A and B are shown apart, each in its own frame.
Chain A
Amino acid sequence: MTAWCEAVLAAFLLTDIMLAASSRLLHCIRIVAAQGLLLGILPLVIRSWSEVHPDQIWISLVNIGIKGVALPLLLILAMKQANVRRELEPFVGYSLSVVAVLGLTGISFWVGAQLPPPVEAGVRLAMPVAFSTMLTGLFMVMARRKAITQAIGFLIFENGITLFGTGLMIEYGLVVELGILLDVFVLVFVMGIALFQINQEFEHIDADKLNRLGDWSAPDEEDAEALPTPAEEGR
């Protein structure tokens, strides 16, 4: 069953790269859904079929339901409410993002090769793939401007953590994962509301503008004085 497992992990890496290259939000959300699906399948193929516990199937179904269906639907809802379709002018361009994700993957593979294999080795491949997925998620949070893309980045990060747990076949990992999942669920929920509110207030969801909030203008920002700060406007 290792061949299937490897195929799933390779597909995971490919989704990471596709995510870095795609500008359309709907496309990004579909990729997140695909990752959720892959995450649900992985525990079933990581051992041979006869060793799979019957409960595992239910867990996988719940996982797919939440990560592959529910969260993406919520994101799509948030996207429609905020009325954004694509990420324009990201901090890091798309080709460069692909190169960056590739570099992060290389680093993760290097780290994965350095680390000692776990005692009850699951799949050696899972560790670097998990690392690179986490790093990709964090990279998305840093490199993109829109709040909704940043929420997607967090989701990818969380997928990486889950992948780590699944790949190492941690015994009670499920309980921890459910906790994390709850966090992310709340995060997306809050993000959805926050996005809606930000959008209502400012007619855009450009999170970079939040850096200038406050009634003092940062001393190193020369152009801040040219633009009226909210405090000056209120005066």
Chain B
Amino acid sequence: MANPTVIWLSSFLLSLILAPLLPGIVNKVKAFFAGRRGPNLFQLYFDLAKLLRKEGVFSATAGGFLQVAPPVSLGCLLLAALLLPHGLVRSPLGFGGDAVLFFYLLGMARFITVLGALDTGSSFEGMGASREMQFSALAEGAIFGVIGFIAVFTGRAGFTMLPADGGGEWWSVHAVSLLLAAAAFFVVLMAENCRVPFDDPETHLELTMIHEAMILDYGGPDLALILYGASLKLWMYAMVLMMLVLPWSICGTWLGMGCTLGGVLLTAVVVGAVESSMARYRFLKVPRMLVGALAVALLGIFFRLVFEGGIQ
């Protein structure tokens, strides 16, 4: 068994390097379903390299916050990444309630982006900001359903899902409730990362954009930071999903790290498949989906509490 800290650190660095691969995979899968060849798998890397060589141009009506927002927002995301267990190893910085801090750091990153969008004074960006906040407020309920599930499961609201008995038995006993929580979290993943049933990352019509409308005014290195941040966010959500799905008995080994990385890439494939098989929802239908995700997470808690050994 290798040193857990080494595994955590190497997995963390790999995450930072590999994150821009995820949108590439999603686009490749979508292209496959549409019968196209699709952009290169490493397209986002090329885009980032190109954008970093340019220089930013800022609107004269904007205040100073527009320029501050992208680095601050990316900083919040990186801070959140430090809290995450990588490769099924607890983060050295982790503590009892780190799951709550993790999701609120992501919320902070979004808040900063929204402020930056409002700073431009463009009406489209204001509209995008308003929608983003509305949907994220609803998604928060589902997120806390899942955090509640983790808390019921482990007794702490943190990413410390190390089972007491640890092993295959644990997985077979709690399979149903774990799957319910994972399904709820998958819906949150799609909503929070602006994937298709909720938002279309490829859209170029300002009236229907949500997240994309907020970053219209950025270019050059700032856009690069934002694009990188978005892919990192998708990566982190997929990591959390993997924590719910993978058995923790393989934690602390290189196998665990490999499974997590593979699982994250597989999640991107699933996201691409879902995106190509669904049409985007009307805005009115989005809250219903998110309330449904909350309901599913709560069902997982019911199952766990009543029938898998809590209240008997």
A102 at the interface (CB under 8 A from B): yes
A11 to B: closest C-beta gap in Å: 9
Q: B176 and A10: CB pair below 8 A?
A: yes
Q: Per-position contact with A for B287-309: 1 when CB-CB < 8 Å, else 0? A: 11001100110110011001100
Question: Within 8 Å CB of A128, what residues of B?
Answer: 306
Q: A98 and B302: CB pair below 8 A?
A: no
CA distance A112 to B303 in the complex (A): 12
Q: Per-position contact with B for A202-222: 1 when CB-CB < 8 Å, else 0? A: 000000000000000000000
B282 to A: closest C-beta gap in Å: 12
For the complex with contacts A101-B295, A125-B307, 4 further pairs of A-B residues with Cβ separation under 8 Å are A6-B175, A7-B175, A98-B295, A102-B299
Question: Within 8 Å CB of A106, what residues of B?
Answer: 298, 302
Q: B172 and A17: CB pair below 8 A?
A: no
Partner of B291, one of A95, A105, A112: A95
Partner of A95, one of B288, B303, B306: B288
CA distance A99 to B138 in the complex (A): 13
Q: B303 and A105: CB pair below 8 A?
A: no
B311 at the interface (CB under 8 A from A): yes
Partner of A10, one of B180, B287, B311: B180
Given the known interface contacts A3-B172, A6-B176, A113-B311, the answer about A105 and B302 at a Cβ–Cβ threshold of 8 Å is: yes
Question: Within 8 Å CB of A21, what residues of B?
Answer: 288, 291-292
Question: Within 8 Å CB of B180, what residues of A?
Answer: 10
Question: Within 8 Å CB of B298, what residues of A?
Answer: 102, 106
Given the known interface contacts A106-B302, A109-B302, A112-B306, the answer about A98 and B176 at a Cβ–Cβ threshold of 8 Å is: no
A38 to B: closest C-beta gap in Å: 14
Interface size in chain B (residues, C-beta < 8 A)? 19
Partner of B299, one of A3, A10, A95: A10
B301 to A: closest C-beta gap in Å: 10
Q: Which residues of A contact B (CB under 8 A)?
A: 3, 6-7, 10, 13-14, 17-18, 21, 94-95, 98-99, 101-102, 105-106, 109, 112-113, 124-125, 128
Given the known interface contacts A3-B175, A17-B296, A113-B311, the answer about A10 and B291 at a Cβ–Cβ threshold of 8 Å is: no
Q: A17 and B295: CB pair below 8 A?
A: yes
Question: Within 8 Å CB of A18, what residues of B?
Answer: 292
Residue of A nearest to B308 (CB): A6
CA distance A18 to B176 in the complex (A): 18
Give the top 7 A-B pairs by smallest Cβ distance, nearest first.
A6-B176, A102-B295, A10-B176, A95-B291, A109-B302, A109-B306, A98-B291
Which of B296, B307, B312 counts the most chain A CB atoms within 10 A? B307
Question: Within 8 Å CB of B179, what residues of A?
Answer: 10
CA distance A21 to B172 in the complex (A): 30
A89 to B: closest C-beta gap in Å: 14
